[in-house]
Copies of this chain bind each other. A is one copy, B any other.
């Protein structure tokens, strides 16, 4: 028996369903078949995910007469670049994709971001379907329509807002996910709890062990809740002009850490975990929250087994510059997301230099 829950992201004519469940992967083709698309399809994935889930997905798409072509991108954030996008264009043309032929992203965030950007820009947009197989992608990439690639000058500098037609998230795929990547996903779940949901925060404090043991029902519920929370935020601000940037809690410093370590040392979620600890500390130092709130945030991140300390060698001018070149900079100031209470945030406009000074104080 598979359990399955569906929520709809309400964006007018661009609305789409997110289906979450345990063991639902073989049902993908039948569900895609309900969308007006075809007659061919492309499955973008990486070699690792292809080996684990490729044949199940391919045969379900074949059964639905969607004539799939599998396209493998090399694994890793370092391949999230314009060359990979150009590679996908070439493969899409080889596969004779037309305007109504869906592109299906099977994998984690990198696969989703690159395939999504290619789908958004191939023939000025073909149907895009997300099949996230990492916890991070399930809770974070399924909602928001962000697609894109990195530029040598920074992360996600190239991209487009493009909504999927369907998201299909099977929490059973997390059982083959390396432990470190599970934790990286948990970091993003903690983020949702801190910025939007005291209830989720309490649940995580109580049930972290069951979360880390990948309990089907608990994960299905948590993934759904995170998608709902993000959908609520995004529906208020689809193009990221203001409110939506609360989702960047922990990301200003997190992105800078990833960048300074060349996207090699830390997983995104790990860097964000450190960024959240810093953001909570800065919130407390700047008087936005109590010491107790800061402590709860730090404690939960530690409880999940995530890193909490910024490496000493990264603190300094480099970090300030990395923060300053982040794309969230407006008129040379950074809109820093702070926590007020568990579940409530505020903004603090700081220059890169101010952030650096605080980071140095904090890390001393």
Instruction: Assess whether A99 is interfacial by the CB under 8 Å rule.
Output: yes
Of residues 303 through 354 on chain A, the ones whose CB sits less than 8 Å from some CB of chain B are 327, 329-331
A180-223 CB mask vs B (1 if < 8 Å, else 0) is 00000000000000000000000000000000000000000000
A86 CB contacts on chain B under 8 angstroms: 82
Instruction: Assess whether A157 is interfacial by the CB under 8 Å rule.
Output: yes
Bound together, the chains give a CA A89 to CA B21 distance in angstroms of 40
- Contact in complex: B98, A157 (CB < 8 Å): no
Q: How large is the interface on A (under 10, 10 to 19, 20 to 34, 35 or more residues)?
A: 20 to 34
Whether A125 contacts B239 in the complex (CB less than 8 A), given A327-B99, A331-B98, comes out as: yes
**Option from B122, B160, B239 in Cβ contact (under 8 Å) with A157:** B122
Whether A98 contacts B330 in the complex (CB less than 8 A), given A86-B82, A120-B160, A146-B124, comes out as: yes
Bound together, the chains give a CA A122 to CA B124 distance in angstroms of 16
Whether A93 contacts B157 in the complex (CB less than 8 A), given A86-B82, A98-B330, A327-B99, comes out as: yes
A148 CB contacts on chain B under 8 angstroms: 121, 124
Instruction: Assess whether A266 is interfacial by the CB under 8 Å rule.
Output: no
- Taking the full assembly, how many copies of this chain does it contain? 2
- Contact in complex: A160, B158 (CB < 8 Å): no
Instruction: Assess whether A363 is interfacial by the CB under 8 Å rule.
Output: no
Bound together, the chains give a CA A121 to CA B39 distance in angstroms of 28
- Contact in complex: B121, A330 (CB < 8 Å): no
- Contact in complex: B98, A159 (CB < 8 Å): no
Of residues 136 through 173 on chain A, the ones whose CB sits less than 8 Å from some CB of chain B are 146, 148, 151, 153, 156-161
A-B contact pairs, 12 of them (CB 8 A): A82-B82, A89-B151, A89-B158, A93-B157, A98-B331, A99-B330, A121-B148, A121-B158, A124-B148, A124-B156, A124-B160, A124-B161
* 5 cross-chain pairs, A with B, having the tightest CB-CB distances, nearest first: A124-B159, A93-B153, A123-B327, A121-B160, A121-B158
